[in-house]
C-alpha cells in the first residue's frame, strides 16, 4: 500500500489542519505514504521528521508571507492549478502510488488531487476537515460544481467528526461517508502532569490555545468580557494570530495575557503552567449555522490530554456539545451569557472533587483519538479498496 496524501495545509504552515495532517502521517512508514503540501516563495523550514515515516514534498503555489494575504493572490494560485495537477501525476508515476487522498479545507489541492487521480486511473478518496459548500464564507460560484466533482470521484468521503458524517449522510445520498477523527500519537507521561490546583486559590490562571477567528470569535469575546473585571480569573492566549488582528476582530487585548504562537510540540508543557483550560466554539458568525454545528476544534485533543479541568463555551445543538455531554469531559456553558460563564468557572474553581472528575473523564475520552488505533481502522478501510483496483 502506497498512498499520496495531497493537502494544502501541512507544517510548517500554521493552523489546525496542518497539525491533523502531521499527526496522521506519523502513523505511516515512508513506504506507505507521501504527503504533498503547499509552500510559499520563501518557505519556512519544516519541522524535524523521521526518515522512516511519511515523506513530505512541497509545491510552490502561494505568494503570501507570514501567513497573511491569502485572498489577494488567488489569481496566482489559479495559474498554478494545472502545474499542480501535473506534479501530482508525476509523483503518482514516479512513486508507484496506489491510492490518492485529497484534503479539504482549501479546494485547490483537493480538487487537483481528484483530477490527477482520475487521469492516472488511480483510486481516490477525499478527507473533509470542514464543510465546503455549506460554509457561507465561501463565495466561489464554482464551489458546488467542484464539491460535486470531488464527491463523485471519491470512493469514500472521510470527515472530521461523527457530526459531519451525520449531516452529510442526510444531505448527500451518493458518496460513502466515514469518520476519520483528529489523532495524537503518544500519551504524555504522568510525571509530566502538574495536576489540578488542589487547593482554593485567589487567582486562577486560565489558558486558551489555537486560532481565534470566525469559528469561535463571538464565544471568545464573550468569555474575555465576562472575566476581564473579575480578579479571580486571568486568561493567557497562545495563538499565531497577531495581537493587533485580535483587537481588530473585537477581542479586548488589554484584558488578556497575549503569548503569541506556540509550536504544537510545546503545547503540552505550556498547558501545565495553568489551572483551567478553556475551549471556545462559535455560536454565530461568518461561517454559517451548519459549520458551527459540525466543527470539531483541533485544540480539543491537547486539552483532553493536559491533565487540566476544561471549561467549554459552545452553542447548543452542536456536535461538540453532544460530544462533551456524552463524555462528561468539560464544564459546558451553552448559553450566550456572561454571568453563566462566570458561574461555570466558579463551579470548577470552587470544587476540587469536580476538578478531578473532569480530568479523569478527559483522559478516558482522549483514548478515542489515539493515532495507532484510529489509523489501523483507516488502513482496514483502504486496503480492500486498493486491492480491488
Based on the fold, state whether residues 103 and 216 are members of the same structural domain: no
Residue 55 sits at the vertex; the CA angle it makes with 61 and 366, to the nearest 5 degrees, is 100
SS3 of residue 263 by DSSP: coil
Q: How many independent structural domains does the chain possess?
A: 2
Phi–psi pair at 303, nearest 5 degrees: -70, -40
Contact between 182 and 300 under an 8 Å Cβ cutoff? The reply is: yes
Euclidean distance between CA atoms 389 and 384, whole angstroms: 9
Q: What is the CATH number of the domain that holds 145?
A: 3.40.50.2000
Contact 131, 291 (CB under 8 A): yes
On whether both 26 and 72 belong to a single domain, the answer is yes
Please tell me the predicted confidence (pLDDT) of residue 66: 53
pLDDT for position 72? 66
Q: Is the pTM of this model over 0.85?
A: yes
Average of per-residue pLDDT across 96-120: 97
Rg (CA), the chain: 21
Q: Please, what is the Cα angle at 344 between 338 and 345, to 5 degrees?
A: 95
Q: pLDDT tens-digit profile of 175-197?
A: 799 999 999 999 999 899 999 99
Quick one: 357 and 378 in the same domain?
Answer: no
| Residues in contact with 354: Cβ distance below 8 Å, sequence separation at least 6, in sequence order | 309, 331, 347, 348
CA distance 354 to 224: 23
User: Which residue pairs, CB below 8 angstroms and at least 24 apart, start in 173-181?
Assistant: 175/151, 178/381, 180/24, 180/127, 180/374, 180/378, 181/296, 181/368, 181/369, 181/374
| d(C-alpha 111, C-alpha 119), whole Å | 13
Strand boundaries in 28-143, DSSP class E: 33-40, 55-62, 99-104, 124-128
Same domain, 287 and 380: no
Q: Which residues contact residue 79 at a Cβ distance below 8 angstroms, ignoring those fewer than 6 apart?
A: none
Range of the domain at 252: 190-367
State yes or no: pLDDT of 257 exceeds 60: yes
User: Are 71 and 30 members of one domain?
Assistant: yes
**Do 241 and 170 share a domain, yes or no?**
no
Statement to judge: residues 91 and 134 lie in one domain:
yes
Confidence of residue 67 (pLDDT cuts 50, 70, 90): low
- Give the closest residue to 49 by CA, choosing from 264, 261, 305: 264
| Chain segment 284-336, per-residue pLDDT in tens | 999 989 999 999 999 999 999 999 999 999 999 999 999 999 999 999 999 99
- Is residue 245 located within the same domain as residue 381? no
| Dihedral (Cα; 182, 35, 30, 303), 10-degree rounding | -20
Q: Are residues 200 and 267 in the same domain?
A: yes
Shared domain check, 166 and 39: yes
175 and 315 assigned to the same domain: no
User: Do 107 and 134 form a contact (C-beta atoms < 8 A)?
Assistant: no
120 and 257 part of one domain = no
Q: What is the pLDDT of residue 389?
A: 57
Amino acid at each position: 500500500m502506497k498512498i499520496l496524501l495531497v493537502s494544502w495545509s501541512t507544517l510548517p504552515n500554521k493552523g489546525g489542519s496542518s497539525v491533523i495532517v502531521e499527526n496522521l502521517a506519523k502513523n505511516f512508514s515512508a513506504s506507505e505514504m507521501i504527503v504533498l503540501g503547499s509552500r510559499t516563495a520563501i518557505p519556512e523550514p519544516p519541522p524535524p521528521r523521521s526518515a522512516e515515516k511519511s515523506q513530505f514534498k512541497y509545491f510552490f503555489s502561494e505568494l503570501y508571507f507570514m501567513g497573511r494575504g491569502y485572498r489577494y493572490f488567488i489569481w496566482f494560485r489559479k495559474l498554478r492549478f494545472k502545474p499542480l495537477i501535473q506534479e501530482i501525476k508525476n509523483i503518482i508515476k514516479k512513486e508507484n502510488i496506489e491510492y490518492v487522498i485529497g484534503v479539504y479545507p482549501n479546494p485547490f489541492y483537493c480538487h487537483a488531487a481528484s483530477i490527477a487521480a482520475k487521469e492516472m486511473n488511480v483510486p481516490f478518496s477525499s478527507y473533509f476537515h470542514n464543510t465546503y459548500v455549506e460554509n457561507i464564507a465561501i463565495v466561489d460560484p464554482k464551489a458546488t460544481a467542484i464539491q460535486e466533482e470531488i464527491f463523485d470521484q471519491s470512493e469514500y468521503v472521510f470527515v472530521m467528526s461523527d457530526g459531519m458524517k451525520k449531516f452529510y449522510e442526510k444531505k448527500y445520498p451518493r458518496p460513502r461517508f466515514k469518520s476519520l477523527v483528529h489523532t495524537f500519537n503518544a500519551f504524555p507521561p504522568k510525571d509530566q502532569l502538574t495536576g489540578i490546583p488542589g487547593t482554593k486559590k485567589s487567582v486562577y490562571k486560565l489558558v486558551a490555545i489555537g486560532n481565534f477567528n470566525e469559528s469561535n470569535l463571538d464565544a471568545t469575546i464573550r468569555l474575555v468580557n465576562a472575566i476581564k473585571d473579575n480578579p479571580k480569573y486571568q486568561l493567557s492566549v497562545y495563538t499565531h494570530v497577531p495581537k493587533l488582528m485580535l483587537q481588530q476582530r473585537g477581542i479586548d487585548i488589554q484584558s488578556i495575557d497575549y503569548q503569541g504562537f506556540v509550536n504544537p510540540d510545546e503545547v503540552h508543557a505550556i498547558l501545565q503552567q495553568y489551572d483551567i483550560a478553556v475551549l471556545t466554539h462559535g455560536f454565530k458568525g461568518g461561517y454559517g449555522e451548519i459549520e458551527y454545528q459540525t466543527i470539531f476544534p483541533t485544540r480539543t485533543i491537547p486539552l483532553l490530554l493536559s491533565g487540566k479541568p476544561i471549561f467549554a463555551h459552545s452553542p447548543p445543538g452542536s456536535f461538540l456539545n453532544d460530544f462533551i455531554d456524552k463524555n462528561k469531559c468539560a464544564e459546558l456553558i451553552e448559553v450566550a451569557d456572561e454571568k453563566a460563564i462566570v458561574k461555570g468557572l466558579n463551579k470548577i474553581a470552587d470544587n476540587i472533587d469536580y476538578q478531578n472528575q473532569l480530568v479523569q473523564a478527559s483522559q478516558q475520552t482522549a483514548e478515542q483519538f489515539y493515532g495507532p488505533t484510529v489509523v489501523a481502522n483507516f488502513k482496514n478501510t483502504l486496503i480492500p479498496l486498493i486491492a480491488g483496483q
